[in-house]
Amino acid sequence: MGVTKQQAIENKKAIVEAAEKLFRERGVAAVGLAELTKAAGFTQGGFYNHFKSKDALVAAVIDKAMEDGAILFNCGLQAAKAAKAAPVKRHVEWYLSKEHLANIEQGCPLTAYAGDVRRLGAEARQSYAHGLQWNIEQLASLIDNGDPQAKRQLAVALFSQLVGALVLSRAVAEADPALAEEILEAGRQQLLLALEK
């Protein structure tokens, strides 16, 4: 008996979700197809009914992660507006928080895949670059003062510092939790001070 179109869509979604969870936890290169298909509840043959290669799956995962990241960003923006808070300040506070540090599975995908992306296929790298570009443009649009070029430069610097602080904090979180917290706190305080200028 054949699989319905709806079931095929659900199966593909299950594979992408299982892959994203494993990729975020351990990195793309550390996850093999056998482990991935087992986590999704499929055989390797079943995998190839949905994706022609692991690279195609990785591209689908990065696409989904960037879409989910955009939703996360927009939800934060709406929450800031509802609270009548400065959106960039609120974004910095959330991005460099203990909660975001711990939320590898659902946090910012640009941080989650920063170490992997240069070794991924062209389609996945392009999707990541598009997601990064979108985030920079969104931050620039939230900055009140300056001409468009100055706003973009500030947004690039700001986002680079956010990602760098979170990546370093996560890198040492298990080995040296105090250092991880210090990195988050120092990064957050310095960025908030810079935004007040």
Q: Answer for the pair 124, 59: CB distance below 8 angstroms, yes or no.
A: yes
Place of tokens 């179109």: 5
Q: How far apart are alpha carbons 55 and 16 in whole angstroms? A: 12
The conformation of residue 104, written as its DSSP 8-state character, comes to T
| Model pLDDT, residue 1 | 52
Classify 85 in phi/psi space as left (phi over 0), alpha (psi -120 to 50) or beta. beta
Report the alpha-carbon distance of residue 123 to residue 130 in Å, rounded: 11
Torsions phi, psi for 29 (to 5 deg): -65, -25
The predicted pLDDT at position 49 comes to: 84
pLDDT of residue 59: 96
pLDDT, position 2: 63
Q: If you write DSSP's letter for every residue of 136-155 in order, what string do you get?
A: HHHHHHH--SS-HHHHHHHH
Indicate the pTM of the whole model: 0.88
Distance (Å, whole) CA 99 – CA 117: 24
Full pLDDT tens readout for the chain, 197 residues: 566 888 878 889 999 999 999 999 999 999 998 898 888 888 777 788 889 999 999 999 999 999 999 999 999 989 998 999 999 999 999 999 999 999 999 999 999 999 999 999 999 999 999 999 999 999 999 988 789 999 999 999 999 999 999 999 999 999 999 999 999 999 999 999 988 87
